[in-house]
Amino acid sequence: MIQIFLTTLPIYLMIVFGYVAVRSGYLGQGHIGALAQFALKICLPALIVFAVAMPHGEGGLNPSFFLAYMGGSVITLLLGYAAMRLFLRQAAPDSWILALGMANSNSGFLGFPIASLIFGPQGAVVFAMTMTVENAVIIPLVQILTGVSGSNERKLGAVLREALGRIIANPLLIAVALALVWRATGLSMGVPVERAVTALAMAAAPVALFVIGGTVASMSVSGHWRRVSAVSIGKLVVHPLLVAALLFTIPGVPADLIPVGILFAAVPMLTIYPILAAPFGLREVCSTALIVATGLSVVTVTGVLVLLNVL
């Protein structure tokens, strides 16, 4: 366990560096916002192209893996919603938002950096699939469900058009589509282009980790510990367990991708979670859940890696 902890320690130190840089005033929150946009719109799309379209790639999306990871995430979302409604008596829209924190991982800013360090190129391949599930299925599904379950219910058609628009405009999903098309053509990008794409892809991990630390530094810890505890347990325990169960039981999932998928499910929720929760008055609750889950993940992710016996 000590060996695994020391292996992952540099990852969490990068988060600490980002936190200290912003908390001390050395960098402003505006700088973190710019770095986040650079990671989201430049580095992570380049990473997807690097993983899927370039010659070393493992080959596109694996349907069985995709189905297993999506199934585990959707089941987590539904169980989280039910728990919030039945046990914590939350309103329906609030319950969907809180359940989102349990079912959607921070694949780009935390999952990939850890997976690339532990699993190498397979981390980038799985990243392309988990990111597709999160951005094309889970987030749009929650947006639709909150839109139609609110007190001021919106028409389903308007909600669907808004969700579809977000999917179409998502730079990560655009990168997946273009990478798959490019791979299908069998064309080479040329050495200069491949080197540029590789350089940008390699910048994704450190920039993303630094952004997490800087983002957390600007958040405040509130109360609401019952909801925070439920969301954190759902994300760090329930989600990886359900994803693992389906990865092991659905036929056709490559054995070498199973531990990578479990790792992605085990990391905390996406960094923009509090932003998505803000319109529902849940920003403080979700910010606290993000801080708590990120802190606890030092222990839980290490524990997952020990159980997977990856080293």
Taking the C-alpha atoms of residue 82 and residue 239, their distance in angstroms, rounded to an integer, is 15
Task: Tokens 């080959």: give the residue.
Answer: 59
What separation in angstroms does the CA of 143 have from each of 174, 210, 214, 262?
20, 28, 27, 25
Burial of 30 (0-12, 13-18, 19+ CB in 10 A): exposed
Structural domains of the chain, ranges and CATH numbers in brackets: 2-305 (1.20.1530.20)
| C-alpha span between 35 and 41 (Å, rounded) | 10
SS3 278: helix
- b/e map of 283-292 (b: 16 or more CB within 10 Å)? bbbbbbbbbb
Q: Which residue has the tokens 């430049």?
A: 42
Q: What is the DSSP letter of 256?
A: G
Give DSSP secondary structure letters for 4-15: HHHHHHHHHHHH
For residue 120, is it left (φ>0), alpha (ψ between -120 and 50) or beta?
left
pTM: 0.86
Q: Burial code of 114-129, b = ≥16 C-beta within 10 A, e = fewer?
A: bbbebbeebbbbbbbb
Which of the 8 DSSP states describes residue 105? B
Q: Would you write out the chain's pLDDT as a tens digit for each of its 311 residues?
A: 677 777 788 888 999 999 999 999 999 989 999 999 999 899 989 988 887 777 555 556 799 999 999 999 999 999 999 999 999 999 999 999 999 999 999 998 889 889 988 998 888 889 989 988 998 899 999 988 988 876 555 567 777 787 788 788 888 889 888 888 888 887 778 889 889 998 998 898 899 889 999 988 888 777 789 999 999 999 999 999 999 999 999 999 999 999 999 999 999 998 889 888 988 889 889 989 999 999 999 999 999 999 987 54
